[in-house]
């Protein structure tokens, strides 16, 4: 008991109140209410956005990504990258490499990469990491240009300690020709023509599921969700809910996997006939 008997009375009263409603039946009611509302939302969404709408929306998105306007815009943005700005960025990288703490962090990352991959494959791995959408193209080019300066000594770095690699990086920083690299990057940016951007965009979109497959997946998963939420709205006990939700996730995964597999097979069949798959 506490020093204040009033608190104890209140606590006991709340405990009795809670125990009255702390039951599986009440929990099941909550699940049924939430599921009923969820089913209505899913059904309404499927009605408002039928397959034909989703199919057309996906086509429009793909058309936008592969449009001449996008290719021209990306090319113009990259090719307009100021050479002096590139030099400033490289000078900033060099300045960071001269910092012992930063150099040690970079050294550990370099050693980690070297331990995982042969030197011949390292450039491809780094290029793959830099190809992620959140890395600007100009930054990728700058990094690869700087990376080319340290590539000749990567084999030596493999057998060195983190501290030794850090020291080598700091020594190398003074020898990095920022002017030459800036000119090199500027030359690379000029090679990013609309034609090259357009080809990459078409290659990328060509790997996506077709617009019809996207529509099939969204409506397939939506109809499944509606069905399972309907089942949830009729459960007698909340303990039944996890099994239904698990079944929903499993079946949804199968719908996506099967649809993507059929899409890939259709593309291969089309290609074998000598045509070009067109989204």
57-83: pLDDT as tens digits:
998 999 888 888 888 888 887 777 667
273 vs 153, which has greater pLDDT?
153
**What's the average model confidence in pLDDT over 203-223?**
92
Structure token pair of residue 80: 């307009």
Q: How far is Cα 10 from Cα 180, in angstroms, rounded to an integer?
A: 78
Q: How far is Cα 13 from Cα 10, in angstroms, rounded to an integer?
A: 5
pTM exceeding the 0.75 threshold for the entire prediction: no
Structure token pair of residue 144: 């690869």
Q: Are 222 and 42 in contact (CB under 8 A)?
A: yes
pLDDT at 41: 84
Q: How far is CA 88 from the centre of its chain?
A: 30
pLDDT at 147: 65
């Amino acid at each position: 008991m506490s020093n204040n008997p009033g608190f104890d009375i209140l606590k006991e009263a709340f405990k009795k109140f809670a125990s009255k409603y702390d039951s599986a039946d009440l929990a099941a009611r909550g699940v049924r209410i939430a599921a009923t509302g969820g089913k209505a939302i899913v059904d309404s969404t499927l009605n408002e956005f039928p397959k034909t709408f989703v199919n057309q929306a996906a086509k429009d998105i793909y058309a936008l990504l592969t449009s001449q306007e996008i290719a021209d815009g990306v090319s113009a943005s990259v090719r307009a990258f100021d050479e002096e700005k590139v030099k400033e960025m490289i000078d900033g990288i060099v300045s960071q490499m001269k910092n012992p703490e930063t150099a040690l962090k970079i050294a550990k990352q370099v050693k980690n990469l070297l331990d995982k991959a042969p030197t011949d494959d390292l450039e491809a791995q780094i290029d793959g990491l830099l190809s992620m959408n959140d890395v600007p193209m100009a930054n990728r080019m700058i990094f690869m240009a700087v990376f080319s300066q340290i590539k000749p000594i990567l084999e030596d770095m493999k057998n060195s300690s983190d501290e030794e690699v850090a020291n080598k990086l700091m020594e190398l920083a003074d020898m990095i020709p920022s002017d030459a690299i800036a000119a090199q990057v500027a030359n690379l940016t000029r090679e990013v023509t609309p034609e090259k951007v357009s080809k990459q965009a078409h290659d990328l979109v060509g790997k996506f599921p077709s617009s019809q497959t996207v529509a099939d997946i969204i409506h397939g998963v939506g109809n499944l969700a509606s069905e399972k939420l309907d089942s949830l709205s009729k459960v007698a006990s909340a303990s039944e809910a996890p099994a239904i939700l698990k079944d929903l996730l499993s079946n949804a995964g199968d719908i996506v996997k099967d649809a993507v597999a059929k899409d890939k097979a259709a593309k291969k069949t089309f290609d074998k006939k000598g045509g070009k798959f067109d989204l």
